[in-house]
Chain A
Amino acid sequence: MSTARKAYLGVAGLLGFALLLELAPRVGLVPARYAPPTSEILRTLAEQLGEDRFWLAVADTLHTWLLGLAIAVALGVALGVFIGTVPVLRAATASTIEFLRPIPSVALIPLVVVLWGSTITSTLVLVVYASFWQVLVQVLHGVADIDPVAQDTARSYRLGRWQRVRYLVWPTALPYVATGVRLAATVALILTITGELVIGSPGLGREIATARSSGAVAVMYALIVVTGLFGVAANLATRAAERRALHWHPSMRAEAVPA
């Protein structure tokens, strides 16, 4: 299927969904007061675009999200390569990682609220905690995927530790890192909005909560649409970055060849 055709179908699907949400309240399937039609949500969204408060919330959310993601990726890659290349360390940490990783970040909300109150720091801790594991686990898999022959070759040529990381570990792990970053970007966004919504740290999530407690239903949906657009943007951006960083990799080259 051509790229253009794919894009058309994607847009058509979105329009169909919007039409469905427009019609459902209009024909009385759901009460319009609590589920306003698409046109009203979009009109409210346009109004929001003209308000300083909206842009401040967008800036706060971007700040928490991107900072949290950057910290998680840096930590995940550094620790992942370190733990992954030292077999003893890897064996020693495996069970601890498997224990800590499934703890849902939101379960830490009571803890962070007591420690840091309803500040950006609280939400940031949740974001970093949740997205860190996505990156770490991918990097560990990536490091484990090194071709044993290549490993032996590197050893024969007496490559130093740093050179092995640079020319062997990193190229092998990179596709995994890219996947980790893509997963982490979405998880980080979810946790950013959740934290703002539940903890009340500044950002779009808190604005959604305020709209809800003010009975401003259309405003609430308009802000929810914005968070959805953030998610789409995150996916497009990480995919584009992945394509550029991995243009040499077979998985990317296969995509370019017409089927």
Chain B
Amino acid sequence: MRRHLAVLLLSTALLATACGSDDAGGQSSGEGPDKVTVGVIPILDVAPIYLGVEKGFFDKRGMDVKLEQAEGGAAIVPAVVSGQYQFGFSNVVSLLLAHSQGLPVKMVSNGNNSTGVDGKDFASLMVKGDSPIKSPKDLEGKTVAANTLQNIVDTSVRASVRKDGGDPSKVKFVPLPFPEQPAALQSGRVDAVFVVEPFQQAVLADGGRPIASSYVDAAPNLTVATYFASKQLIGENPDLVKRFTDAMTESLSYADSHPDEAREIIGSYTKIAPEVIEKVTLPKWPAEVNRDSVQTLADLALDDGLLDKAADVDSLLP
């Protein structure tokens, strides 16, 4: 009887070790490429880094890059600060907030921008097909779903309302993850949603219609997200950061000029259906961070009360 249990235990342990091995992240010492772990979110926005890794833009600069998918950007900032990841991907407002709380983060490369084209962006403010809401100012007194409160989404939606002549403080935001928003809009639980691709396509398929491209309204050619590192890494290993930035620059330019390859790589790290990937609007991937747009977001965040005091944008920018 004891043997049976011992055999059972031993076989589970053996099977477990046979099924895979623990992976240790971090950097290698001595010769060979530097091991670099980057925290990303499995969304369209990060297509350039996946494409860059595949094309060898990091290899040729002596970096062995591992892309770790985190659930939402909230987990990435602490992991970069603690040194789990060397680099991370995060939206600009999250970084402004982290920076204002004294976390030692600094942008090292652009992430992605809005298309800058009103009515044709990768994210939009949408209502039901038969909704009486015609434009953002009609949202006064209405409920809008945002994936996270006090972040880039509600800041941008308020910019749309303000631009349309409405009072943004009268709009009520409720937190709801992107995947749940199309169903919530359809069932009437919220009056409007702000969705990114591929959920923009889902709302369109349900007969919904866009009323504003809030990322376009917030600032011209808005930089939505960037790659960042901890100030500690930048101080200790400026050469590695420089090589990462160079590789990202090449990856961003490549993705921006090869949208078909970007669409193809999106299919490899997300589970978006192929027929949807063909239809989605891709973000723009300029190589440089749009510094003015970061300042604009910082100003909006201060006006809306996300920040207590004006952010020191220059020390956050690359």
> Taking beta carbons and an 8 Å cutoff, which residues of A are in contact with B?
31, 33-34, 59-60, 62-63, 65-67, 69-70, 73-74, 113-114, 116-121, 170-171, 174, 177, 197-200, 206-207, 209-216, 219, 241, 244-246, 248
Contacts and interface: CB of A to CB of B under 8 A. Distances in A.
Contact of B16 (A67, A113, A171, A245): A67
Chain A CB count within 10 A is highest, among B19, B39, B42, for B19
27 contacts: A33-B205, A34-B183, A59-B19, A60-B19, A62-B19, A66-B15, A67-B17, A74-B9, A114-B78, A117-B39, A117-B85, A118-B70, A118-B79, A119-B23, A120-B22, A171-B1, A199-B71, A211-B271, A213-B178, A213-B179, A213-B270, A214-B272, A214-B273, A241-B4, A241-B8, A245-B5, A248-B1
Interface size class of B (residues with CB under 8 A): 35 or more
B2 A216 contact: no
B22 A121 contact: yes
A219 B13 contact: no
Nearest to A109: B75
Nearest to A210: B42
Contacts of A121: 22
A31 B16 contact: no
Given A113-B78, A246-B1, A63 B272 contact: no
A67 B23 CA distance: 15
Nearest to B21: A63
| Max chain A Cβ within 10 angstroms of own Cβ: one of B13, B20, B178, B183 | B20
B295 interface: no
A121 B25 CA distance: 11
Contacts of B19: 59-60, 62-63, 66
Contact of B2 (A73, A170, A198): A170
Contacts of A120: 20, 22-23
B12 interface: yes
A219 B22 contact: no
Interface in B270-305: 270-273, 276
Nearest to B199: A215
Given A34-B183, A214-B272, A200 B15 contact: no
Contact of B75 (A200, A211, A244): A200
A215 B44 CA distance: 12
A117 B25 contact: yes
Q: Give the interface SS of chain A, mostly helix, strand, loop or mixed.
A: helix
Given A33-B206, A170-B2, A200-B69, A60 B20 contact: yes
A157 B62 CA distance: 71
A207 B79 CA distance: 21
Contacts of A171: 1
B137 to A, nearest CB: 30
A207 B13 CA distance: 24
A59 B271 CA distance: 19
A215 B79 contact: no
Nearest to A67: B16
B264 interface: no
Nearest to B20: A63
A200 B68 contact: yes
A206 B71 CA distance: 8
A116 B71 contact: no
Contact of A119 (B8, B25, B205, B271): B25
Contacts of A65: 16
A244 B5 CA distance: 9
Q: Which 8 A-B pairs have the closest CB atoms?
A: A117-B84, A67-B16, A63-B19, A66-B16, A216-B271, A214-B271, A63-B20, A214-B272
B22 A214 contact: no
Nearest to A240: B8
B168 interface: no
Nearest to A113: B75
Given A118-B70, A174-B5, 6 more contacts: A60-B19, A67-B12, A69-B12, A170-B2, A171-B1, A214-B272
A212 B182 CA distance: 12
Contact of A216 (B9, B16, B43, B272): B272
B202 interface: yes
A209 B71 contact: yes
Contact of A118 (B13, B68, B179, B270): B68
B136 interface: no
Nearest to B24: A119
A193 B200 CA distance: 29
Determine which residue in A74, A114, A117, A210 has the highest number of CB atoms from chain B within 10 A of its CB, and name it.
A117
Given A117-B68, A210-B270, A215 B198 contact: yes
A216 B276 CA distance: 10
A245 B7 CA distance: 11
Given A113-B78, A120-B23, A198-B71, A70 B12 contact: yes
